[in-house]
Chains A and B, each alone.
Chain A
Amino acid sequence: MKKWFAAALLLLSIGYTIYGLNTLTLLTSSGRPAAGFFPLLIGVLLIVSCAVNLWGDVQEWQKERQTGVRPVHQADPEAEAKADALGVDAHAIDGGPEYGRDVFIVFVYICAFVGIMKIVGALLAMILFMLAFLFTFNRGHVIGNVIYSIALPGFLYGLFKILLNASLPTSPFGF
């Protein structure tokens, strides 16, 4: 997946640059930089660096295929890379099983939550999200899940809508 992410970034960079070139003015009539100058600079740097990055990721993938050794996933890759750069071994927490399927499920739930928020209102959307999430990942605690799914959204709705007077989507029933 790493190389696909790198490839997607390269494609987006190309799209960003081409769209900018087609819609933005690069230089003013007096020869000064216009609205498209900086985006073009960023776009070109993005294309070059994303291409080099993709090349590196593809090579890494090929090496993995040849050796059959897959690197363990890291708990905090950014911090661990910094530690590596300074010769400090901060890798005690890496490895273990991966839960890609669970990430996918929770992402779908979040999308559904945002998708229905305008239709059923924030309170109901929050309750439905909580119920779906808890009955997927915390089965066996039926009563606790139901109470939690009503109490937490109720508290947050009260906090944002009543106390902070924030604008939240309301359902046809007025809440």
Chain B
Amino acid sequence: MFADIVSNLSLGLSIAASPEGFLFLVIGAFLGMIVGLFPGFGPAAGIAVLIPMTFGLEPTIAIIMLAGIYYGSMYGGTITSILINTPGESATVASTIDGYPLAQKGRAGPALVMQAIASFFGGTVGVVLITALAPSLANFAASFGPSEYFLIIAVGLLMLTTMMGDNKFKGFISALIGFAIGTVGVDVMSGQQRYTFGSSELIGGVYFVAVAIGLFGIGELMHCMFNGQHTHPAKRLRIGFRDKEFWPSKKDYHESRWTFWRGSAIGFIAGVLPGSGATLGSIIGYSVEKKVAKDPEKFGKGEMRGLVAPEAANNAASAGAMVPLLALGIPGSGATAVLLGAFLMWGLQPGPLLIVNDPEFVWGLIASMYLGNMILIAMSIFAIPLFVKFLDIPYVNVVPVIVLLCVIGAYAINASIIETWILVGSGLVGFAMKKYGYSPAATVLALVLGSMAEETFLQTYIISQGTMNLFWERPVSLVLSIILLAVIIVPLIVSFRGRIRKKAAVSSS
């Protein structure tokens, strides 16, 4: 098995390290850093907006570049979390808790270096685990039937929504909206048109890229404007890696030595679980680190471990999320849902057979992630002055760039003005969803997985002759059904216990 992995990785490296592959990997990583830098423009929007720019490329090279944007943004997003207390993207929210106080203490340099090292560590551990797990999972998944696939999708979406605290109902509605949009077009089973309103442009369904760009790009941008981001002046920050205080101390490394491992392990598990993603991974990473610390009172006041844990976790999670994507064809987050859409656009058939049918693609992508992490750590440390300089650009000048890329990108894909209007409508809905606590990520995920969910659900219904007993008769289905029930019941119990405790506290006081 080890020999197989080595030979597959060499095959992948021959593609990723080719001049073209390497060039677009560097471009992807660089763009990812910039995408991460600007608040309100996360990896999902970045990938969706830049898909049209990969039109002239080979599919593998295009996906290598788009994946570079995906994990590159995890590195870039923390720079603003540390320097200006504004996370560049959701997965770096937890990094502000200790990152910004570190900068206020005059330790911005060590914080930036440690986040880069933690990101590299988490990302590399994640890719090593992908290399080991993705082929085995794909082999295992080859025996999956429709009931297993439907349950994985259901578990993923429910996990995404139930982890939204008080907003879990809104998360559930967000996923249903995605399913509803996904029903537009021709029904694959019967050939009947659904919700096309006589328009020939809707027969093929609502194209997910326009919706994704609208929800993540225009919607997030409008939300940033609502928060007054465009009124903030340029930051004019300066950081140089030649400064003595730029580098972390031995104490920083020593204290964080286990944090790197813990954060990476937690993040990877969170990433592999469908629906969790890097945001949840980083928050769990932070929470666990604080709980296991002997001095939790230091957290939130500029503790290096409080920065290292979420950083290692979000990068490991972003790598972990590639496992279900590559092995099952099921994305676990908004950004990987957009990547799945890109796979389909390039004619790749995601699922367990992808590794068998397209080994150059899968191993090229995995090998590119090893190289990408190396490029990104070098960029994150030695090019920090350059990336910090990007923050000199006032947000008011960034807004038109995003709008033009979104509109022109959405139009260019199919030269369709209807899709461009869908983008505008999705933008408005995305803004409202973001503002009122709904989950645009759940909508895109459900939209991308909608047809698969419907097909597998109906197949299960037909095979079991309407009894649905396939959901508990097959061993894997049974385990997944139990997990599904646990995902529904556990948060209810937790919330019920919380209410009882609150009531008890109120009555005792």
Residues of A within 8 A of B (CB): 1-2, 5-6, 9, 13, 16, 19-20, 23-25, 28, 32-39, 42-43, 45-46, 49-50, 52-53, 56, 73-90, 92-93, 96-100, 102-103, 106-107, 110-111, 113-114, 117-118, 122, 126, 129-130, 133-134, 137-138, 148, 152-153, 156, 159-160, 163-169
Contact = CB atoms under 8 A, between A and B. Distances in A.
User: Which one of A86, A88, A100, A130 has the highest number of Cβ atoms from chain B below 10 Å of its Cβ?
Assistant: A88
A109 to B, nearest CB: 8
A1 B225 CA distance: 17
A110 B427 contact: yes
A140 to B, nearest CB: 11
Nearest to B280: A82
B427 A164 contact: no
Interface string B204-226: 00000000000000100010011
Interface residues of B, number: 88
A166 to B, nearest CB: 4
A85 B171 CA distance: 13
Contact of A50 (B96, B173, B227, B454): B173
B435 interface: yes
Given A46-B173, A152-B404, A38 B424 contact: no
Nearest to B284: A86
B279 A79 contact: yes
A96 B407 contact: no
Nearest to A161: B412
Nearest to B184: A39
A46 B170 contact: no
Contacts of B432: 1, 5
B417 A117 contact: yes
A56 B437 CA distance: 13
A6 B91 CA distance: 27
B180 A16 contact: yes
B169 A88 contact: no
A2 B435 CA distance: 9
A160 B415 CA distance: 12
A110 to B, nearest CB: 6
User: Would you list the 9 A-B pairs with minimal beta carbon distance, nearest first?
Assistant: A85-B165, A166-B412, A35-B187, A167-B415, A35-B192, A81-B165, A79-B90, A77-B437, A84-B165
A78 B94 contact: no
B226 A73 contact: yes
Contact of B52 (A2, A77, A102, A164): A164
B187 to A, nearest CB: 4
A41 B167 CA distance: 22
A74 B434 CA distance: 9
Contacts of B400: 129-130, 133-134, 148, 152
B417 A118 contact: yes
B287 interface: yes
B489 to A, nearest CB: 15
B396 A111 contact: no
Contacts of B167: 77-78, 81
B461 interface: yes
B231 A88 contact: no
9 contacts: A39-B195, A78-B171, A79-B91, A117-B417, A117-B420, A133-B400, A160-B408, A164-B412, A165-B56
A34 B192 contact: yes
A94 to B, nearest CB: 9
